A and B are shown apart, each in its own frame.
Chain A
Amino acid sequence: MKNYLPAAGLVVVLLLIWEFTARSIDLLFILPTPSGVAWKVWELREVLVFEHLPSTLSIILIGLFISIVLGVGLAVWMNMSKTAERAFYPIIISSQMIPTIALAPIFIMWFGYSIWSKVVVTVLITFFPITVSTFDGLKSSSKELRELLLTMGAGKKDIFFKLQVPSAKPYFYSGLKVAVTLSVIGAAIGEWLGSQAGLGYFSRRMMTQFDGAAVFAPIVLLSAVGIVLFVIVKVLEHKSLKWRKTE
């Protein structure tokens, strides 16, 4: 816990500077104070937590789930077949040059205001880190260990499950950590563009009403969701990679 003290101190200092600057400028509908935002969160707690949070959270979780299934599946396929690797890998990498977020309006047109337009946006931006890190992880397994397993009479299946999968796990978790933070962004942006509920939607609606504090309030919650997801992944990683502590 001690390690986090400098960071916590810095945050407090920044919040204080913000508080005083906002008070002296005194345009609270555009630049609310942190205390004003905190008060707003408390005031709106029921609407935010029971109405809008569930809808955003379900976009994030469904999106992440689909990304993991598709991403890991594609990584395994590319690992098994050189042809699949040559076909997909360059496309996956170059697809990152497309500003995915800018495509979001198209998905809103296709899927309407339903949850799926937002899920697609989330999947598109979380798919990449999961696929690429898992694939790199599968490829990272040691050649010497592979040969040793062969000399013990191991088959392809043994090499996959006993060598490649354990080698890929740390990479997968790194990819997942990036993906959970991106998933919050994906869901929020999807909601800005076309939605009738959700934290992103609420924030944008408050913007039109010039209620600065209420624009920030759902963002506080979104950040909290991101942090909690990240911590969950960290805990899972810790549990399944116990051996890494010993290194």
Chain B
Amino acid sequence: MIRRLLARLVKHLDGYLLLALFLLMMLGLIVLYSAAGEDFHFVTKQMMNLSVALCVMWLVANVPPQHLARLGLPVYVIGLLLLLGVALFGDVSHGARRWLHIGVTRIQPSEIMKIAVPLMLAWYFDRHSAALRFRDFVVAAILLLLPVAFILKQPDLGTSLLVGGAGFYVLFLGGLSWRVMIGLAVTGAASLPLLWSMMHDYQRQRVLTLLDPTQDPLGSGYHIIQSTIAMGSGGVFGKGWLNGTQTHLEFLPERHTDFILAVLGEEFGLAGGLILLVIYMLVIGRGIVIAANAHTLFGRLFAGSIVFTFFTYAFVNIGMVSGILPVVGVPLPLVSYGGTSAVTLLFGMGALMSIQTHRKLIQT
């Protein structure tokens, strides 16, 4: 009886994926304990965050993909309206307008879009799957650019990158023609000098500091200088857990959130970094398998987009902290402290599991 219940509970979970995710979260909590100054406060709070996120994942995994697909349009429309609400009545925090008050709580609608955009686009392509024409891609591109423009305006470069990426992956996997992609890339590159000449001095300065943070050593550049020193001094095997001198002494404000990789790099060295990369590869690899074997176009596109968005998170964050990509606010997935991103990420993982485990049911 109990065994049967248990079997029902885990029926829609994917073992490989779950194992990789657990490894990742374990590693994250260990590093977090050190990054937060050996304080259990953050660790317990993060464990609560992750528990909530895991519940969300389980719930989503139990929803059949065709039901998820039907949510695409309404969630997208609601998300878009909320973004409009943010633009009009949003709260300004940290110099950007990202939050919206709804009754007692406040929400960040751009976070919803990380799921809503690929969901909507995958559903849209699936509906027109009999014959995908050029027109459909144009419509999809508009559906994608609208929320991205709103989020860019907030301004939130990191999130607009992730939302834009999530949508682009659907277009790419859906078969966007190479000619169009190359054409757009060339036009984009060609219009850069024009754009540059139209910008104000202070805007140019912002772009330059984004590309080269060392120009702003008191602001974002300070983080990069300190995080590279921390990681570089870690060497092959690191200084050992809780022994990182740089991360424990230096003034590195976001060391438990966006810059947590610096702590990992200093204390566990190259070995720790490579282990992290391998775990990410496991998650991504399993995701790709799920996408490849999905039975509907919706499943394939949505799964593919989730996997590559997950990859984007990891790539942008690691690239940023190690100093080869500009500083944009993207957390290290499931390692950085934070509840919102954990929920969004595990929602995606739940969707992957749903797509994988509901396969057999529709095999007729």
- Our verdict on whether A and B bind, yes or no, reads no
Residues of B within 8 A of A (CB): none
Residues of A within 8 A of B (CB): none
